[in-house]
Amino acid sequence: MVLGVVTAGMTLLFMAAVERLPLGTASALEFLGPLTVALLRGRGRVLWPVLAGVGVVLLTEPWAGTVDLVGVAYALGAALCWAMYILLTQRVGDEVAGINGLAVSMAVAGLAATIAVGHSAIGRLTPHLILVGLGLAILLPVVPFVLEMVSLRRLSTAAFGTLMSLEPAFAQLIGLVVLQQVPSVLAVAGIACVVVAGIGAARGGARGGARKPTEPPSDSERTYLSAPS
């Protein structure tokens, strides 16, 4: 139940953040959630959290006074939910066999999201909007989850964590190409800091070698830097 609510909160808060912030900035701030979990589980290297902190400062530019603080709050809220998602997913994976617990959490997440924001859509639903919503529901939680499961069957945890750390960079690229969001030099530097910190945390805290394609990952192992967002 709690996992479903956290999943809904992570998705809704990130969507609210990208309404106010560039996609790359929102993604980098949200990525602080799994990065923090990785750092806490790692070996205590000071460099990576410091580098991530520098990245946040460069992204938000507090000295300029132009950052949307509400958008930053939404993104950090999504980061907190992502961190909670990782911890709760591990707990569910330890208590429930397979992905049954996560399947139930997805249904709870849908219900929680409907309760939270469904009232604002009443009276504005159209067939086109319903189709778009169904498409987002598939693209956001379902497709990433399946692809992550397939990837973890074939990659080591270190390699998987490293690739997941590139998410803010890809978000920035998509924002530039699709949304014409041209980042400042400081924003690019900030995203680079967060990405490098994520890669460092992933390489330092990962364990084990690459799996055979037929060897499925454990549910707790999958939670490292992983979420349906």
Mind listing the pLDDT tens digit for each residue in 150-163? 776 677 767 777 78
Q: Assess whether pLDDT exceeds 70 at residue 20.
A: yes
Going from the C-alpha of 81 to that of each of 44, 63, 74, 101, 130, the distances in angstroms are 23, 28, 11, 18, 26
Q: Which residues of 154-169 are buried (b: 16+ CB within 10 A; e: fewer)?
A: ebebbbbbbbbbebbb
pTM metric for this prediction: 0.75
Q: How far apart are CA 92 and CA 104, in angstroms?
A: 11
Q: Assess whether pLDDT exceeds 60 at residue 137.
A: yes
In whole angstroms, what separates CA 168 from the centre of its chain? 9
Going from the C-alpha of 200 to that of each of 70, 106, 122, 164, 204, the distances in angstroms are 30, 31, 46, 12, 6
Report residue 5's pLDDT band, with 50, 70 and 90 as the boundaries.
Answer: confident
Mind listing the pLDDT tens digit for each residue in 194-205? 999 888 887 765
In whole angstroms, what separates CA 209 from the centre of its chain? 24
- Where do the domains of the chain lie? 2-117+137-222
Q: How far apart are CA 70 and CA 118, in angstroms?
A: 21
Instruction: Tell me the backbone φ, ψ of residue 208, rounded to 5 degrees.
Output: 80, 165
Mind listing the pLDDT tens digit for each residue in 96-118? 555 555 666 666 666 666 666 66
